[in-house]
A and B are shown apart, each in its own frame.
Chain A
Amino acid sequence: MTKFLAVCSTGLGSSFMVHMNIDKVLKELEIDGVDVDHADLGSVANGDADAVFVGRDIADAASHLGDVVVLDSIIDLAELRDKVAAAAKRHGLTD
């Protein structure tokens, strides 16, 4: 199972929102086989997920986490849809 993680500094509020939005977007794009979860920055290590989604304000702090997808806006669904689609392609879920 491909794993996508949404990460923020407390692992409670904004990462949860992004997690729910990623679920929504994956459904819209009809992409299966992705396990989505959320966590706080301190608990995540490189390799925990195939792609890690963060807001640009913690991009520097998250740079060691492998395939880091930086979001310019955590509330922009259009941007998220594009970046989720691109990540899905990168990890072989679509062609």
Chain B
Amino acid sequence: MDAVLDVLLDIFTQPSIIVALIALVGLAVQNKSFSDVLKGTIRTMVGFLVLSAGAGVVVGSLDPFGEMFQHAFNVQGVVPNNEAIVAQVLMDYGSAAALIFFFGMIVNILLAATTRFKYVYLSGHVSFYIAAMFAVILGVAGFSQWQVILWGSIAQGIYMVVSPALVQPFMRRVTGGDTVALGHTGGAGIAFGGLIAWLTRGKGSSKSTEEMNFPKGLSFLRDTTVIVALSMAVIYIIVGLFAGPTYIEGELSGGTNFIVFLIMQAATFSGGVFIILAGVRVILAEIVPAFKGVSERLVKNSKPALDVPIIFTFAPNAVLIGFLVSFAGGIVGMLGMVALGTTIVIPGVVAHFMTGAAAGVIGNAAGGRRGAVIASFVNGLAITILPLLLLPVLGDIGLSNATFSDADYGVFGLILGGLSEAGGQIAIIVGIVVSVVALYVITFATRGRKAKKAADAEKESVA
């Protein structure tokens, strides 16, 4: 009997099997044919194993970076790249992450159906990533496995409605409506940038970014594989120059010329990220449509919270300006760290692109050209400082060469981590319960106000 249980445990604690089962449930709930269910379930399982393979490639290419950096600067250097860190996290916390991801969706639907926060977070890849972060933080805080999943799922569901809510005032301005929300882990940084842009808008005299002419030859910036390889090559070579060719060729490259070695490592890193993304794409292909379908049926007036590029079409020039200015903010932040002698957070190019561009679009809508620049610079600083502050909360994972890159990881991770520091597991549980209660209190409070407003308006029109 024990032997059977052992085998079952072996099977069901494999993250690849857990995500496959999630896909199975999702497909079955949509009444798909046996063939589709079988195909989808197995593809999802294989997708997870592809992701794991990508993790190996990424870690292999980052190890020499970590060693070089330590040798050159005597401090830890971290590369903020979500795919790189999540793939590593999933190796140790994969099962918890997958279950938090799954139950988090259920909590999201429950909260969206019963509170005024009707956001359904459809960006599966980033909600998968933040589930991984919750798994790490709660695991490091000392919770048992089932507690990690319980509190992690509730935290995940709360996150899935709160992050879009933070950005929504700015989204309304950009899209001209209230039907679509932003579902991206850059939300807090983007909203904060937008807020600063709005506060500094002055008399609103700054012209829109779209009234400028922009050079056309920058299309390569939209190819993630290319910009990751290019930026990592630059970073590796700069660090390599400080570490010195003798060190690299002696310790790391086995004699190969150091520049050649570094370029190969940078390209390998980009390749690893490419593999991880391919795996994530397959995993989500079956799960997200199921989530979308179920949430559309169960939540009236739901607002889909979608990935960041949905606002790029509204202001393509702001996209480029936002990226470049955010990146500049990242460099300024990094130089600050160099000056202060802390662990160094390298600018993460994908994060600066996605969140900086979004901050640019939102800043432009709030305060024109100047708003775009201010919002993206603020965002750039935020996504450099927050990852640094988050590192201690991640336990051993914080010693890795990569880390989480977007603002929400920092904000929500620090809240959880801070609670843990302040009062251990009890504080975290209390914090989560209080947040849920707060969502309902806000819902009932504003419902009362809306009803009163409607009643007053009626009285006015009758009189």
A interface with B by C-beta (< 8 Å): 8-14, 16-17, 20, 38, 40-42, 55-58, 60-61, 71-75
Q: Which residues of A contact B175 (CB under 8 A)?
A: 75
Q: Are A40 and B288 in contact (CB under 8 A)?
A: no
Q: Which residues of B contact A57 (CB under 8 A)?
A: 222, 309, 312-313, 316, 319
Interface hub of A9, A13, A61, A72 (most chain B Cβ within 10 A): A13
Contact of A42 among B224, B307, B312, B313 (CB under 8 A): B224
The answer to whether B314 has its CB under 8 Å from any CB of chain A is: yes
Contact of B309 among A20, A42, A74 (CB under 8 A): A74
Q: Are B222 and A13 in contact (CB under 8 A)?
A: no
Q: Which residues of B contact A56 (CB under 8 A)?
A: 313, 316
**20 more A-B contacts (CB under 8 A) besides A8-B307, A13-B184, A61-B222?**
A11-B281, A13-B306, A13-B307, A14-B306, A17-B306, A20-B288, A40-B223, A41-B222, A41-B223, A42-B224, A55-B309, A56-B313, A57-B222, A57-B309, A57-B312, A61-B223, A73-B314, A74-B309, A75-B179, A75-B306
B side interface size, CB within 8 A: 38
Q: Are B310 and A74 in contact (CB under 8 A)?
A: yes
Complex: A41 Cα to B216 Cα, angstroms: 17
Q: How many A-B pairs with Cβ below 8 Å?
A: 89
The answer to whether B39 has its CB under 8 Å from any CB of chain A is: no
Q: Which residues of A contact B281 (CB under 8 A)?
A: 11-12, 16, 38
Q: Are B309 and A13 in contact (CB under 8 A)?
A: yes
Can you identify 27 A-B contacts, CB atoms within 8 angstroms? A8-B309, A9-B222, A9-B224, A9-B309, A11-B277, A12-B125, A12-B281, A13-B307, A16-B285, A17-B310, A20-B288, A20-B289, A20-B292, A40-B277, A42-B223, A42-B224, A42-B274, A55-B309, A55-B312, A56-B316, A57-B312, A57-B316, A58-B219, A60-B219, A61-B219, A73-B313, A75-B310
The answer to whether B343 has its CB under 8 Å from any CB of chain A is: no
Interface hub of B220, B223, B284 (most chain A Cβ within 10 A): B223
Q: Are A17 and B122 in contact (CB under 8 A)?
A: yes
Complex: A41 Cα to B285 Cα, angstroms: 18
Q: What is the chain B residue whose CB lies nearest that of A38?
A: B281
The answer to whether B386 has its CB under 8 Å from any CB of chain A is: no
The answer to whether B372 has its CB under 8 Å from any CB of chain A is: no
